[in-house]
Amino acid sequence: MSNSNEIETTGKQEFTITVYTENRIGILNRIAIIFSRRKINIESLNTSPSEIEHIHRFNILIHETEEVVRKLSRQIEKQVEVLKVYYNTNQDIIWQEMALYKVPTDTIAELVSVERLLRENGARAVVIRKDYTVFETTGHREETDKLIEVLQPYGLIEFVRSARVAIIKDSEGFNRKLREFERREPGEDVIENEFLDKEKNVFTM
C-alpha cells in the first residue's frame, strides 16, 4: 500500500486504471505505448473479457501522480477502440491478487508447523502430488509476499502471482453506458463531457 508520506513528498501513489475496450488485436499495444512513451513502468496489468460480450476490461496498476494519471487516462480514452477509462486510488477500490506456491509435499507432510502457517495465511491446496503440492492464496501484495517469506525456509520451488484485479466501489456498472455508446446520438446526461461536470473527479465514476 502506498505510503502517505510518499504521497506528500512526491505526489505519487498507486493508481488503478480501468479500461473498457473492444476486443481487438493490437489494442494492448496501443495502450501500453501510452505508458512507455513517458517512461512509466506498468506495475501490473490484467486484461480479460468483461461481463459484456466482445468487450475487454483492463486493470493497469501504476505508481504516479494524479495529474499524470489523468493525462494518461485521457490519452488512452482517445484511442478509437477504447470505450471508457476510469482511474482510482486504492481507497476507491476493492482489489485482489492471486498467488500460487509450489512446495515439496514431503516437507509439508512432515512438518505440522507448515500446515499451520498455510492455514494462518488463508492458503488452500490446489493440487497435491507425491512430489509437490500447489497452494493458492488471494490477497493484497503484502499478504502474498508474506507467504513467500514463510514458505522460503521450507523449500519453495516455484511461485507465481497474477496482476491486480479491482472492483470500483462507486461503480454502477458499464452496461447502461455501453447502451448509450451504441446510439448514434448519445444522451447528454449519460456520457459526454462528464469530466467537465465533475471537475477534479474526471474519469472517475
Q: Which residues bind other proteins (CB under 8 A)?
A: 21-22, 25-26, 29-30, 33, 37, 70-71, 74-75, 77-78, 80-83, 178, 181-182, 184, 186, 188, 191-193, 195-197
* C-alpha cell recorded at residue 174: 458499464
Put the strands of the sheet holding 12-22 in their side by side order.
44-49, 55-65, 12-22, 82-89
Instruction: Please name the residue ranges forming H helices in 37-140.
Output: 66-77, 105-110, 112-120
Element counts in the chain: helices (H) and strands (E): 8, 9
Cβ nearer to other proteins, comparing 76 with 150: 76
Distance of CA 43 to the CA centre of its chain: 9
Cβ nearer to other proteins, comparing 135 with 174: 174
> How many CB atoms are located within 10 Å of the residue 22 CB?
13
Please report how close the Cβ of residue 170 comes to other proteins at its closest, in angstroms: 21
Please report how close the Cβ of residue 100 comes to other proteins at its closest, in angstroms: 31
Cβ nearer to other proteins, comparing 26 with 172: 26
Please report how close the Cβ of residue 203 comes to other proteins at its closest, in angstroms: 10
Cβ nearer to other proteins, comparing 37 with 130: 37
Q: Are 59 and 165 in contact (CB under 8 A)?
A: yes
**Can you state the percent helix, strand and coil of the chain, rounding each to 5?**
35, 35, 30
> Tell me, what DSSP letter sits at residue 164?
P
Please report how close the Cβ of residue 11 comes to other proteins at its closest, in angstroms: 16
Cβ nearer to other proteins, comparing 149 with 188: 188
Please report how close the Cβ of residue 73 comes to other proteins at its closest, in angstroms: 9
Please report how close the Cβ of residue 33 comes to other proteins at its closest, in angstroms: 5
Helix or strand run (H / E) with residue 150: helix 141-151
Cβ nearer to other proteins, comparing 98 with 191: 191
